[in-house]
Copies of this chain bind each other. A is one copy, B any other.
Amino acid sequence: MIDLGAAKAIQACEILDELGLDCWLLWVRETDQMTDPALRLLMAGDVVWPSALILTRSGERIAIVGRFDADGLPAHLFDRIVAYDEDIQPQLVAELTRIDPQSIAINTSRSDVGADGMTAGMRDWLMSLLEETPYLGRLTSAESLIQRWRGRKLPQEVACIRSAVALTERIFDEIAAELTVGMTEREIFDRVQAKVERHGAGFAWHRDHNPAVDAGPDKAFGHVGPTDRRTRSGHLLHFDFGVRVDGYCSDLQRMIFFGRSAEIPEEVDHGFRTIRDAIRAAAAVLKPGIVGADVDAVARQAVMDAGYGEYMNALGHQVGRNAHDGGTLLGPRWSRYGDLPDGRVEAGNVFTLEPNLKTASYGMISLEEDVLVTESGCEFLSVPQTELICVEG
């Protein structure tokens, strides 16, 4: 796992300043049992006792941790490591009093799991520890901070994602060359997983359903594992697959047709072109400053204009340390997405583009590409699938 903690810490302090926030407090414990997702961008290791990691607008970085955890912390990450024995409160209050921040950002968010790493019990406890101080009233959400921080990938982070995407594409190429009609979803799934392991990579999401392998017209796509359903001539095969390389993820969908190119039914061809073109249309408008919901609307409308029903997921989510990396979402303004579709796209964001549709006779058609937002538009990190991959015999 690549260690970008120091670089991300510097970036976090810069974003604090940009947002006019005085400090950021990560308030965590027993992080091998429940891990604040934001912690993982700073350090790979864990703390056991209740710990306060403080980053300030001026660039100072302080860790207040239990004595047993102090030696295990990455020393280069912090200007000062304060160890306590029985009770963290005196040192926590002392540090805050010294810094005297007017705002203390904490990891709570209604909409964004990546920015919501503080548990309810930990927040209650923090508030009681600060009860007699002016700092209780200065707590605020770190949501904007974390979203910008996770979302603006550093060049080293983009390089990791590129590696993950390249490996995913390589495995797609390999499996496409091995496929034969009659293989079951489970056989194909096992082969792909063996390749991931052979390459020493990890899985971008739970390996129970990574890759998702969906054969034929009747399989509902979703977060579900493979079955013993067999591939058949004239049918489609769908993959949703992502790996993890150096701690960063890819997330791609590809479609295979079992038969010769000339045998692709018009219904399938029309659906495939609709999805491919919806991705192109969305990519054409994706650039810094645009609101997530407006990008979603372009692809959604394209699919519906082509005569298909509306798909019930967002067009695209960010990708990074997690396959679903939080922050601005290219999605519709549905309740379950909270305010994520209202976010504005920034340079350095990495998004999926993944519209889909349902055909009458051949099941679902869905593709997914990964794109990097640049200063003026976006760049495909994957080589977009422009034609169905045909597997004969």
Contacts and interface: CB of A to CB of B under 8 A. Distances in A.
B223 A33 contact: no
A54 to B, nearest CB: 18
A222 interface: yes
B30 A224 contact: no
Contacts of A122: 116, 120
A327 interface: no
A221 B120 contact: no
A123 interface: yes
Contacts of A113: 29-30, 33-34, 119
A72 B224 contact: yes
Interface in A101-154: 106-125
Interface in A37-59: 37, 44-50
A206 interface: yes
Interface string A320-336: 00111010000000111
A323 B30 CA distance: 10
A34 B33 contact: no
Contact of A72 (B45, B125, B223, B335): B223
A27 to B, nearest CB: 10
A359 interface: no
Given A46-B223, A72-B225, A222-B69, A33 B114 contact: yes
Interface stretch (A85-93, A228-236, A256-264, A279-287): A85-93
A287 to B, nearest CB: 27
B46 A205 contact: yes
A305 interface: no
A108 B107 CA distance: 16
Contacts of A44: 208
A123 B109 CA distance: 10
Interface string A234-274: 00000000000000000000000000000000000000000
Given A34-B117, A119-B119, 5 more contacts: A32-B206, A32-B324, A71-B223, A88-B335, A120-B123
